[in-house]
Copies of this chain bind each other. A is one copy, B any other.
Amino acid sequence: MAVTIRDVARRAHVSVATVSRALTSPELVRPETRSRVLAAAAELGYQPNRAARGLITGKTGNIGIVVPDLDNPFFTGVLKAVQARATQADYAVFVADSDEDPVAEAKLVHAMAKQVDGVVLCAPGLEDSQLHEVAGATSLVLLNRRLPGVPAAVMDSAGGMRAIVDHLVALGHRRIAYLNGPRTSWSNQERRRGLMTAVAENGVDLVDLGPFAPRYEGGLQAADLAVAAGPTAIVAYNDIMALGVLARLRDRGISVPLDVSVTGFDDLMYASLCSPALTTVAMPVAQAGRTAVNLLLDWLDSDHTEAPQVVAETQLVVRGTTTPPRR
């Protein structure tokens, strides 16, 4: 099999204990001995067995991330950042895809628990109580979800929604349709919360539709319902739904933005590629992913007294799907 610590010890003419120390606590060993050990390790291409190390230290050097859908660029953006930050900190990362199933979420975290030092749970659909239970299985950091006592990295979706409404109101819109994402989704609740306050403040007429699947097909379905309600602007839960809306409206010969304005949420790369380009809100996915890992790493050697919740700012990106209403 592979080269073990004993091979290195033999080659460096020291004991395995010294090799171990040279590798993990360099200050405990004489520089001369240490360099001899390091040389031997390098020559042999020795890589410590993390599992064995973890068995005794209780730390695995791994973290996990569970996301609702790996086909959603929003989550893969987070994943990419998590992966990068973790690698940088010399951690390896487990991924799991819950397929939007809360039960699977809990199961996956539990399955990972033994092999990781902690997990980043993205936009969980679990209820608070279940989330607390899950948090008991391993060190948990939430992403886009808040729960007292659990560290979290959240993006200011509510603020983004307020920016959208302010933008539409400034353009002259007074009747707006909102296409809800999944009711259980914390993100949808946040976005809706921002929407509600902004709508109330501006005396706007709101048509509250859905929930719809947060996918292209959901947008297709939602578009017709929205149009029937006669708003001058349609605010979708996210970009993918908005792209579905755009497609459906195009098929029906309804012009965007002349007949109706449309907004998305997330600023996926593709939001800028459709025609007209989509007005949307940019989510700081990379930043949030990085933050989540930092929170987790901090949490691992903290006294767990305070669970920080870091919020990353969103930003409205005005493009071609919003203009003043016709009449």
Contact = CB atoms under 8 A, between A and B. Distances in A.
A70 interface: yes
A106 B147 CA distance: 40
Contacts of A2: 113-114
A1 interface: yes
A6 to B, nearest CB: 15
Contacts of A35: none
A246 to B, nearest CB: 8
Nearest to A64: B92
A161 to B, nearest CB: 23
Given A55-B55, A58-B1, A274-B275, A92 B112 contact: yes
B275 A250 contact: yes
Contacts of A182: none
Contact of A47 (B1, B47, B80, B114): B114
A76 B83 contact: no
Contacts of A273: 216, 243, 246-247, 270, 274
Given A97-B80, A243-B273, A273-B243, A51 B47 contact: no
A263 interface: no
Interface in A84-101: 84, 87, 92-97, 99
8 residue pairs, one from A and one from B, having the closest CB atoms: A70-B80, A51-B51, A270-B270, A76-B76, A95-B95, A275-B275, A83-B97, A243-B273
Interface in A47-62: 47-52, 54-55, 58, 60, 62
Contacts of A270: 243, 270, 273-274
Given A273-B243, A273-B247, A274-B275, A47 B111 contact: yes
Contacts of A87: 96-97, 108
Interface string A36-72: 0000000000011111101100101010000001110
A115 interface: yes
Contacts of A47: 110-111, 113-114
A270 to B, nearest CB: 4
A79 interface: yes
A273 to B, nearest CB: 5
Contacts of A113: 2, 47
A125 interface: no
A73 interface: yes
Contacts of A52: 51, 55
A48 B58 CA distance: 15
Nearest to A45: B110
A83 B70 contact: yes
A50 to B, nearest CB: 6
